[in-house]
């Protein structure tokens, strides 16, 4: 059995960090056992920390949306990258964040995290948690 599992089931996410990460709270980030470089994972972690989003949730979404393929295009070539962002719906968000290339994994995750943060804030105000999204 792998030392890390990440999956989505019935709208909920479950993320398990490596056993060594559970033991080390304030030490260097060692990454998840996913097919993304440690450099990209560190950038994603910074983005998650900026938005106060659990990195396991973002990784679960990335796995679901793109199977960790940063160059994937879906929905008739309208959705881009790791988090399958559609620019036609997020032009204002992209402009506000200074994002110009959704096939750049870091920029793609920043847009996705910004959107998810907004949705989670709305749901929290309305009394629904992440499981209800």
pLDDT in tens, 23-49: 444 568 899 999 999 999 999 999 999
Tell me which of 13-22, 97-106, 124-133 is least confident.
13-22
For residue 122, the model assigns a pLDDT of 86
Q: Does residue 129 surpass a pLDDT of 60? A: no
Percent of the chain with pLDDT over 70: 74
pTM for the whole thing?
Answer: 0.76
Average pLDDT, whole number, for the chain? 83
CA end-to-end span of the chain, whole Å?
30
How sure is the predictor about 131, in pLDDT bands with cuts at 50, 70 and 90? low
Helical spans, DSSP H, in the chain: 19-23, 38-51, 55-66, 87-97, 105-125
Say if residue 115 is exposed, middle or buried (CB neighbours under 10 Å; 0-12, 13-18, 19+).
middle
Are the CB atoms for 85 and 102 separated by under 8 Å?
Answer: yes
For residue 12, the model assigns a pLDDT of 39
């Amino acid at each position: 059995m792998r030392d890390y599992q990440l999956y989505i089931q019935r709208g909920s996410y479950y993320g398990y960090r490596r056993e060594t990460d559970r033991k080390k709270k304030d030490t260097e980030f060692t990454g998840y056992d996913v097919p993304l470089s440690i450099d990209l994972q560190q950038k994603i972690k910074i983005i998650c920390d900026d938005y106060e989003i659990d990195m396991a949730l973002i990784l679960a979404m990335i796995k679901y949306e793109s199977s960790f393929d940063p160059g994937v295009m879906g929905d008739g070539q309208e959705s881009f990258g790791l988090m399958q962002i559609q620019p036609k719906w997020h032009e204002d968000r992209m402009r506000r964040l200074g994002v110009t290339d959704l096939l750049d994994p870091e920029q793609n995750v920043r847009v996705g995290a910004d959107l998810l943060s907004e949705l989670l804030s709305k749901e929290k105000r309305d009394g629904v948690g992440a499981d209800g999204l």
